[in-house]
């Protein structure tokens, strides 16, 4: 069974998403905010059947690109690269089929791990994501992300 069949909710996330990230410290104070464009690709002909590229832009003009090719096995995708190790899976207990759950650790920093929950709107055109950054068992940072899909055609953006 391929990734699209095994993870139909993940397949619904395929495309190009524009959004906004806001990071809060443990006291709930905003510590960062930036805009984003994410390319979420599924192509089972490639070495990594799921591949996400994140483009971040800050109000002061700084930019950053992060690339996350992922393997697929056992009904989840997994990362193991220079930045993170972890996995993403559909939450089968969600009878509405809206929720993905992710877990990852920063490579080289075993004291820091993150859980992410992603909710896809029923129309598939918007989603919200929350991250909980935990260091040594204590919340360090929370991230709130709101995104809307601008295209399902990631190939057109990949080539641009």
Q: Classify strands 138-151 and 15-25 as parallel, antiparallel or unpaired.
A: antiparallel
pLDDT in tens, 63-101: 999 999 999 998 999 999 999 999 999 999 999 999 999
Residue 159 has pLDDT above 80, yes or no: no
Cα distance between residue 64 and residue 86, in whole Å: 21
Query: According to DSSP H, which parts of the chain are helical?
Result: 3-6, 8-12, 154-158
Residue 2 has pLDDT above 70, yes or no: yes
What is the structure's pLDDT at 103? 98
Task: Using the Cα atoms of residue 153, residue 54, residue 47 and residue 75 in order, give the sign of their dihedral.
Answer: negative
pLDDT confidence bin for 54, thresholds 50/70/90: very high
**Superfamily grouping for domain 3-158:** Calycin beta-barrel core domain (2.40.128.20)
pLDDT confidence bin for 59, thresholds 50/70/90: very high
pLDDT > 90 in the chain, percent: 94
What is the structure's pLDDT at 160? 66
What is the structure's pLDDT at 23? 98
What average pLDDT score do residues 103-127 get?
96
pLDDT in tens, 117-150: 999 999 999 999 999 999 999 999 999 999 999 9
Residue 115 has pLDDT above 80, yes or no: yes
Domains of the chain, by residue range, sit at 3-158
Q: Which residues of 44-63 are buried (b: 16+ CB within 10 A; e: fewer)?
A: eeeebbbbbbbeeeeeeeee
pLDDT in tens, 24-53: 999 999 999 999 999 999 998 888 999 999
The closest alpha carbon to 104, from 65, 76, 146, belongs to 76
46: helix, coil or strand? coil
Predicted TM-score (pTM) above 0.75? yes
């Amino acid at each position: 069974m391929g990734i699209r069949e095994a993870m139909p909710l993940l397949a619904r996330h395929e495309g190009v998403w524009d959004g906004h990230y806001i990071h809060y410290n443990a006291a709930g104070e905003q510590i960062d905010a930036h805009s984003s464009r994410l390319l979420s690709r599924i192509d089972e002909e490639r070495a990594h059947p799921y591949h996400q590229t994140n483009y971040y832009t800050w109000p002061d003009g700084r930019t950053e690109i992060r690339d996350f090719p992922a393997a697929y096995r056992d009904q989840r995708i997994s990362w193991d690269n220079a930045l993170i190790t972890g996995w993403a899976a559909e939450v089968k207990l969600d009878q509405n089929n809206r929720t993905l759950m992710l877990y990852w650790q920063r490579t080289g920093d075993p004291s820091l791990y993150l859980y992410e929950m992603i909710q896809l709107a029923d129309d598939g055109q918007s989603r919200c994501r929350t991250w909980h950054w935990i260091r040594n068992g204590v919340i360090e940072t929370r991230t709130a992300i709101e995104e809307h899909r601008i295209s399902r055609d990631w190939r057109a953006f990949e080539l641009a």
